Structure 1
């Protein structure tokens, strides 16, 4: 699930000598779910060098757009967004998960595309600073069978030393 180009990300980290507040902008992608058993997918990742910070606190901001056809009674969709952290090539650690749920109980025959912004933020206290990658995986939990697109995924990380 982690970025295949992680080695390059760690090389970038090793040349980062900045101190104070660090901002890292990540990369995102999109995915279209067509079937209930579609596999999970990584949709965003960001790498940040925390090695020059003391007891770093990291704020992760994630956002995306979820698009689906509106209308139709009984349409139900549920997706879980999971945030992971990997530091210095360790095993991924699940930091949290957020559930997006949509139920259409109306009997509308309107088939227009509806777009909803979905976002979350998370504050992480890193005990052993190093080069860390944060990534978001999305998996369908409940799916109506009508295609759902999750795109325009964005992730950023802001870090600074902590005094506590």
Structure 2
């Protein structure tokens, strides 16, 4: 008794349909085989302690985390980036403002890092021997009709400005990015 063999064309069609069902957008984006109309990526960042700021020394930038999103499948991507954190601050007898400057940078398809913007956290306490504060800090950045590609967004503290002795801790950092096709 001979077993039935399906014609070669039927087998290929079945395999192609199965593949198309499982990887509907594969033709569009080899980097992301299962892209959707709206993309979302998120990451937990790293915290950083900034002990005793000294205005006489240059500040070394510190990275707080990064998140990567692949918008290769999207036409004229609209991208929204969100950063959230908690800042713990100690002021040692200082009535001058103390400032942290956060920078957002983007690197797409392993090319050069591009600055996207800066955001400032500033605080001043007046004539008190020691003050402590814990507060949230966040910012949002939007890009319309950006170029499609695989992009990594990185948040850094790029500068800290203080006259003397202030201490910061930036913790509980969270980064998220959403993207969809634009018009």
Indicate conservation of the 8 Å contact 2:102/2:159, yes or no.
Answer: no
Counterpart check, 1:30 vs 2:47: yes
Indicate conservation of the 8 Å contact 1:60/1:156, yes or no.
Answer: yes
From 62, 67, 71, give the equivalent of 2:83.
Answer: 62
Query: Partner of 1:5 in structure 2?
Result: none
Query: Partner of 2:144 in structure 1?
Result: 125
Counterpart check, 1:140 vs 2:159: yes
TM-score, with length taken from structure 1: 0.82
* Cα displacement (A) at 1:116: 1.5
Partner Cα separation in structure 2 for residue 140 and residue 128 of structure 1: 29
Higher strand residue share: 1
Larger RCO of the pair (alpha carbons < 8 Å, separation 6+): 1
Q: List alignment gaps of at least 5 residues for structure 2.
A: 1-29
Q: Which has the larger radius of gyration?
A: 2
Name segments (4+ residues, structure 1) moved above 6 Å. none
TM-score, with length taken from structure 2: 0.74
From 75, 88, 111, give the equivalent of 2:109.
Answer: 88
> For residues 4-19 of structure 1, what are the structure 2 equivalents within 5 Å?
14-19=31-36
Counterpart check, 1:50 vs 2:67: no
Counterpart check, 1:74 vs 2:95: yes
Q: List alignment gaps of at least 5 residues for structure 1.
A: 1-12
Number of equivalenced pairs: 149
Partner Cα separation in structure 2 for residue 141 and residue 126 of structure 1: 33
